Amino acid sequence: MEIASIGIVGAGQMGNGIAHVCALAGYDVTLTDVSKDALDAALDLIGQNLDRQVQRDRIDAAARDAALARIATTLTLTDLGACDLVIEAATERETIKQAIFEDLVPHLKPETILTSNTSSISITRLASRTDRPEKFMGFHFMNPVPVMQLVELIRGIATDDETYAACQAVVERLGKTAATAEDFPAFMVNRILMPMINEAVYTLYEGVGTVTSIDTSMKLGANHPMGPLELADFIGLDTCLAIMNVLHDGLADTKYRPCPLLVKYVEAGWLGRKSLRGFYDYRGEGDPVPTR
């Protein structure tokens, strides 16, 4: 089917980025959230990011203005019912995602494709709670969405070929590259990335290295653009912990056991950049200061 309109559930870090790239690619976008402040902040950030692209000569002012004009916002989830494709980008909690689909499904067109931006939760299980498992799949963008070129496409056990082809065509129109993953816990990127981050936290927990030495070692010794603890703060420590729990529960292997120090930071509310404290403290005016 031809996708012309895209609905996005959640105006947070991922949702606003997805709205940005979809609108810039010419899709009519409807962005919804339970918070008006979140929607206003998302539009403001999208505008800033588009302005940055204009300044860097990646797009022109006309393209920026056209993209912004294609984005509508709403507090009413069911307003997404007329969209051809819906991308759920809410909090990484399965109960929340299931509740969203339960409320939305009765208002969708029969041909509407449902997708989730989940980074770890079973697509087959999410799809089974809807009326259209054959038109449901994982649509996992990387963060930050306007910059990162990869999209993981995850087929559930019931996803049909037409749905996959339609989603693959969207990825191509966005100018990104699709990688197909099987529906197993954390898929591909996070199946590899999160245990590395968790091991870095264990390295800190056991006193093998400090925050600075661990991050410096991986940046200079493995040529990573960000150290694993810096990256964890960027992703959100609560998200890292949630994905490690999915891996641990889903694969029943002790190698995926979340580090107790990661658990402690999340319990303290030190979630990384979004809370201004994680493995680094971001509350000062200068460079972030390691917290351990």
Average of pLDDT values for 263-289? 96
Please tell me whether residue 1 adopts helix, strand or coil conformation: coil
The model's pLDDT over 145-186, given as tens digits with 9 standing for 90+, comes to 999 999 999 999 999 999 999 999 999 999 999 999 999 999
Catalytic residue (one of 119, 120, 122, 198)? 119
Nearest C-alpha neighbor of 87 from the set 161, 11, 156, 169: 11
117 flagged as catalytic:
no
Average of pLDDT values for 243-259? 95
Residue with tokens 């689909």: 101
Which pLDDT value is given to residue 270? 98
Q: How far apart are CA 116 and CA 159, in angstroms?
A: 13
Cα angle 160, 163, 166 (rounded to 5 degrees) comes to: 150
152 flagged as catalytic:
yes
Which pLDDT value is given to residue 235? 92
Catalytic residue (one of 16, 117, 122, 190)? 190
Asked if the model's pLDDT at residue 120 lies above 90, the reply is no
For 184, the token pair is 């197993």
190 flagged as catalytic:
yes
Query: Strand pairing of 280-281 and 289-290?
Result: antiparallel
Q: With contact defined as beta carbons under 8 Å apart, do 83 and 112 qualify?
A: yes
Q: How far apart are CA 5 and CA 86, in angstroms?
A: 9
94 flagged as catalytic:
no
Which pLDDT value is given to residue 92? 86
pTM over 0.85: yes
Asked if the model's pLDDT at residue 1 lies above 90, the reply is no
Average of pLDDT values for 215-219? 98
Catalytic residue (one of 88, 92, 152, 230)? 152
CA 133, 141, 40, 47 torsion-angle sign: negative
Asked if the model's pLDDT at residue 254 lies above 80, the reply is yes
Which pLDDT value is given to residue 264? 98
What average pLDDT does the chain have?
96
Q: φ and ψ at 155, to 5 degrees?
A: -90, 130
Q: With contact defined as beta carbons under 8 Å apart, do 166 and 3 qualify?
A: yes
The answer to whether the peptide bond before residue 225 is cis (omega within 30 degrees of 0) is no
Catalytic residue (one of 92, 116, 122, 140)? 140
The model's pLDDT over 42-89, given as tens digits with 9 standing for 90+, comes to 999 999 999 999 999 999 999 999 999 999 999 999 999 999 999 999
| Residues facing 138 on adjacent strands | 116, 154
